[in-house]
Structure 1
Amino acid sequence: MMEIGFIGTGVMGNSLVKHLLNAGHDVAIYTRTAKKAENLVAMGAELKESPKEVAQYAQVLFTMVGYPTDVEEVYFGNNGILGHAKAGAVLIDLTTSKPELAERIYEAAAQNGLKALDAPVSGGDIGAQKGTLSIMVGGDEETFNEALPLFELLGENIVFQGAAGAGQHTKMCNQITIASNMIGVCESLIYAKKAGLDPEQVLRSISSGAAGSWSLSNLAPRMIKGDFAPGFYIKHFIKDMKIAAEEADRMDLDLPGLKLSLSMYEELAASGHSESGTQALIHYYWK
């Protein structure tokens, strides 16, 4: 058993805390909306009043918050982690954030006798619930090996990518791939409908072939059913694509597929869909 901290118990974080509790660990949590964590408290998690209190408690501390500004506040703020964590604690940021920020956290952690990993995940709400996430890790390999038994409670495809920031860069590769793929999934379904086909039957044929993808298997059925509940919010996907676009510009890369997807999702958000799941991109074609 370990004393584990977890900051951010939203759609995915809630499920991840359950895995840690079910494995027998003592878990202290902090979330800005305490009501969202009531189920975790009922399972035995201890609700703290600030990131500072979680940091003072935990041997290993996970963070999974919304935006890079939230990450910065949680780590560097007056009541944040870096000024209050236990000596030798391992800090693991699961948020999809900026590579440069991951590097700053790593450096500040080292100066304070702490260890830090950037470990963004992929797999959405389903992967979090099942404990089958892909986890992309940057930092020191020794720290990665130390944290691996905990990662294995949360995911299946866990890969050490390199130095601090490498996990975040890998997640940008993931999001760039998804960005164009989501357009293809939507256009395929719209084509099927216009051709008079049964979209569910079409999925039976194409999901396991060369066109197969996670989005096609998991999100296309939600599109067909009209289920736009967020496994991953559009507003957060826009945040991720903007980070990827900024990094691409910094590296003098032109990524037209990424830019097109970003513009489409921004249009959806402006029309009131920012709180929907990414599968709501199909609305773009229903205009």
Structure 2
Amino acid sequence: MSEAFKLGDLVWAKMKGFSPWPGRVAIPTPELKPPKKAMNVQCIYFFGTNNYAWIEDNNIKPYQEYKEQLIKSCKTAAFKEAVNQIEEFIVNPEKFGDLDDHALNAEEEFDKLKDVLEEEESSQEEKAAEEAEAAPSEPAAKKKSATPKVKPIKRSSSAGIKGTPRKKTKSSLSRSYTDIDVGNEKPSMLNHSFSKKSSLLNRPSNILTPDTPPLDLENVSETLLEKNIKASQMKFGFLGLGIMGSGIVKNLLNSGHKVVVWNRTAAKCKDFEKVGATIAVTPCDVVEEADITFSCVADPQAAKEMVFGNCGVLHCPSLESKGYVEMTSIDADTSHDIVEAISGKGGRYLEAQIQGSKTQAEEGTLIILAAGDRSLFDDCQSCFKAMSKNSFYLGSDIGNASKMNSVLQVVGGVSLAALAEGLALADRAGLNQADLLDVLALTPLASPHLILKGRAMIESSYSTHQPLMHMQKDLKLALGLGDALEQSLPLSATTNEIFKHAKRLGYANHDVAAVYIRARF
């Protein structure tokens, strides 16, 4: 016979396919719908993963009673962390805040918040009055408090008047608790947060965007110095100062090129202006000032906006003698649309896809895959030398570079997903993941890139070098190419779904290594 559990009980809860996990009987979140068939179920908050799920009573055991027996049921680091958290919760529950804060009445929460603000205002006024008494006498005008006293506004509900009922809405900050997030089995405060105090105005987000170290624009890399580049005397424009664009422009400036920059967020341009760049107001202004303009933005849609959008490239009266180089990871169809528009106004076009990440962009060790106007490729050589360790010209056929890039991204994406699954399997099997990487580094499968991403996966360090959402976008473009050519890509399709799921879990802006989160799910 199953034991009766009540709200707040600490328990061991077991989901199908997982070891018993330390948790707490909790109030379900609005997103967690009750199961249709099961009757004797409890909503469980799982320590370590910070998620909620419905568990049947016969799969729940009292925590203290079964502690000695079940604490040995799993040896993973994530499990140990979950046990540490529940033990800490027993000693100091205030540290975890109110785990059932999602069920608080909005009216009550607002009134509590209002009372706190009024108390703070009152204490500030008293402090100001005491300071005024202690200070030398001043003109009457200066004796007034700097903060005017605002009469508290009473809510209609507290005055006995029935207020209009409010519709419950799902907050964009609310978490999905439909299952155990085993992908988050290694919780770190970098990616997750507990709230010590919850309020309507300051609800914590479950997934935080990782900090990205600022770019040191004045530091010239050793690699760039060794290249001994003779900069072209032409003027170059650059659209987009994102993760890749910033590093590329840094090397163009440090190698002596004259650069005009534009970015959707204008504040990013200020730092580049300090080291010699000229700022333009619109993409059209960049093209008019420059002889050759590079574009490196987020996706095909953004690339089209640079050309066809408001104040875009096509708003220039003429593109005669101008060159336009598209470095955004795009599909062949988008590249054809852009070349038709550019050449239609007398300009030259080159697609120059880039292989590499933030680190390679900053060091000037990218790989350039180019196709299109050969003369424009030659005119860009000093720039390509500053950006990359090699540039390949793949012919005049527009789309060749985009297709080559898609193929390479398929190989990279599938490899990362395989590595993530391998590490997850090793951890579940009780193997040391660091040992796995050490062995992998000595095998024919060894790759500096995979070893680096593997260490990031183990350490849950997802500072963005190559955004996960960009990899998923490239996989999607590759699938589109496969459809057009009637080429079956089952592994690519599966990998795309894995990256899509990682995006849904909140890791779109994290590094591609965060795909490991999905592998642990």
TM-score computed with the length of structure 2 as normaliser: 0.53
The higher radius of gyration belongs to 2
More displaced stretch, 188-197 vs 122-131: 188-197
Contact 2:284 2:311 (8 Å CA) reproduced? yes
Superposition deviation, residue 77 in structure 1: 2.2
Q: Give yes or no for contact 1:185–1:215 (8 Å, CA) kept in 2.
A: no
Q: After TM superposition, give the deviation of residue 208 of structure 1 in Å.
A: 5.1
**Residue identity matched to 2:280:** K
CA displacement at 1:189 relative to structure 2:
2.0
Any conservation in 2 of the 1:63–1:92 contact (CA below 8 Å)?
yes
What does 1:1-287 correspond to in 2, within 5 Å? 1-84=233-316, 86-162=319-395, 163-207=397-441, 209-287=443-521
Per the alignment, in what secondary structure is the counterpart of residue 243 of structure 2? coil
TM-superposed deviation, 1:275: 1.4
| Equivalent AA in structure 2 for residue 183 of structure 1 | A
- Segment drifting more, 206-215 vs 259-268: 206-215
Structure 2 distance, partners of 1:157, 1:219, is: 23
1-structure distance, mates of 2:301, 2:510: 22
Report Cα offsets for 1:90-145 as digits up to 9, x if no partner. Answer: 11111001211212222322222211111111111111011111111110333222
Kindly tell me: are residues 37 and 222 of structure 1, through their superposed partners in 2, closer, same or farther at Cα, counting changes over 3 Å? farther
Q: Secondary structure at the match of 2:313?
A: coil
Q: Unaligned regions of 5+ residues in structure 2, if any?
A: 1-232
Tell me how far apart the structure 1 counterparts of residues 285 and 442 of structure 2 sit (CA, whole Å): 47
Tell me the SS of whatever aligns to 1:82.
helix
The alpha-carbon deviation at position 203 of structure 1 amounts to: 2.3
- Deviation, structure 1 residue 86: 4.7
Tell me the secondary structure at the aligned position of residue 121 of structure 1.
strand
Comparing 215-224 with 16-25, greater Cα deviation is found at 215-224
Show CA shifts across 1:1-47 (max 9, x none): 33111000001100100001011111111111123333212212122
Deviation per residue, 1:205-232 (Å, 9 max, x gap): 3235311235313311211221112211
CA RMSD of the aligned region, Å? 1.7
Residue identity matched to 2:438: R
Structure 1 residue 89: Cα displacement:
1.6
- Give 1:151's aligned amino acid: F
Moved more, 50-59 or 104-113: 104-113
Runs of 5+ unmatched residues, structure 1? none
TM-score by length of 1: 0.94
| Superposition deviation, residue 196 in structure 1 | 4.3
Contact 1:182/1:215 (<8 A) preserved: no
The number of residues matched between the two structures is 287
Given that 1:245 and 1:259 are in contact with CA atoms closer than 8 Å, whether structure 2 keeps it comes out as yes
Contact 1:125 1:232 in 2 (8 A): yes
Structure ranking higher on relative contact order (CA contacts 8 Å, 6+ apart):
1
- Look up the equivalent residue of 1:28 and give its one-letter code: V
Distance 2:435 2:270 in 1: 41
Secondary structure at the aligned position of 1:96 is classed as coil
Bigger mean CA deviation after superposition, 197-206 or 159-168: 197-206
Local SS of the residue matching 2:417: helix
Percent identity over paired residues: 26
Determine helix, strand or coil for the equivalent of 2:380: helix
- Local SS of the residue matching 1:119: strand
Secondary structure, aligned partner of 1:150: helix
| Deviation beyond 4 Å, 4+ runs, structure 1 | none
Deviations 1:145-198 (A, max 9, x none): 222221111011311112111110111011111121011211232233345444
- Aligned match of 2:127: none
